Homo-oligomer: A and B are copies of this chain.
Amino acid sequence: MNDPSKGKILALAGGVGGAKLVVGLAKTIDPTNLMVIVNTGDDERFHGLHVSPDLDTVMYTLAGLSDPTNGWGIAGDSFRALEMLHRYGAENWFNLGDKDLGTHIRRTELLGEGLHLSEVTKQMCQQLGIESRLVPMSDHRIQTMLETEEGLLTMQEYFVRHRCEPKVSSIFFEGADQSEPSPDFKSALSDSLGLIICPSNPFLSIGPILAIPGVRESIESFDGVRVIVSPIIGGMALRGPAAKLLADLNFPVSSVGVLQQYSGLCDIFVIDHQDAHLSDNIRDLGVFPSVTSTIMDTQSDKERLAKFVVSLIR
């Protein structure tokens, strides 16, 4: 049972960086043994439709549908419905492709019929032929909110509308207090061989997951090996505002600043060769550093890093 190719692996993920490692993991182990817990703190209603940006990114990636250039949406999509919505006076700052809208329409319909988000996600992933389990962090509504110099913003307002420009003073997760983990997430926390936190934004992608009551405690007392992959390389995020948020919130703009967000949750911290000099600082935090190449440009990069991470659990 200590062979991770035979036991369940639990991966926590947010958007694009997370999805890259997830797609590598699904090629490395038996995909049916992989459960991916996805952030839903970015979920928002656009035009009356329930949009789950991170769930969609991971779902499209695992289904082979994702747009390799944008990092969001479906490859080769068009934007006719959105143009029409704009003609009717609706806002169009959030890009929603036509195929992509099929996802949002279907999800909204099924939620409207009373299904929980985790049931809806399971059904939709099955229809797309995804073998791994994709599980929203919670069936409750949790909304990531950013206190910024431009006022209080939702995650998508900050990320898309304001292009991560306003300085952030604090982040909180509305509704987290009254929430609980989705049922499959809860049981996987107690019966998985290994737990991987993907190279996702610690504040905006993983932070909401850890804000759900009981999750941090369950990971603290997790039985298997806990591996975290840093999303910061050489003081910069490959994508998104992780580095900027570390600075805004007065943490070191480095993998060390990332690890400070995961106190008590990490056995092995995977950093890039460029950050090998931080190994001692990581050991000082009571965590075992593991150095490799963490850049995932190609499919083989993704599989190589996934194999490396799985070997650490083994």
Contact = CB atoms under 8 A, between A and B. Distances in A.
Interface of A: 47-49, 74, 77-78, 80-85, 87-90, 97-103, 105-106, 108-109, 112, 123-124, 127-128
A129 to B, nearest CB: 9
A64 B85 CA distance: 17
Nearest to A128: B87
Given A49-B105, A81-B99, 18 more contacts: A48-B105, A78-B98, A80-B99, A80-B102, A81-B98, A81-B102, A83-B99, A83-B102, A84-B98, A84-B103, A84-B106, A85-B105, A87-B102, A87-B128, A88-B106, A90-B109, A98-B98, A101-B101
16 contacts: A47-B109, A78-B78, A78-B80, A80-B98, A81-B98, A81-B102, A83-B102, A84-B98, A84-B101, A85-B105, A88-B103, A88-B106, A88-B124, A88-B127, A101-B105, A105-B105
A103 B84 CA distance: 7
For this chain, the copies found in one complex come to 2
Given A48-B108, A108-B48, A109-B48, A102 B124 contact: no
A89 to B, nearest CB: 5
A232 to B, nearest CB: 35
A86 to B, nearest CB: 8
Residue from A89, A102, A108 whose CB has the most chain B CB atoms within 10 Å: A102
A89 B102 CA distance: 11
A127 B90 CA distance: 10
Contacts of A128: 87-88
A61 to B, nearest CB: 16
Contacts of A85: 102, 105-106
Nearest to A74: B84
A74 B102 CA distance: 18
Given A48-B105, A98-B98, A105-B48, A127 B89 contact: yes
Contacts of A102: 80-85, 87-88
A175 B75 CA distance: 45
Contacts of A84: 74, 98-103, 106
A48 to B, nearest CB: 4
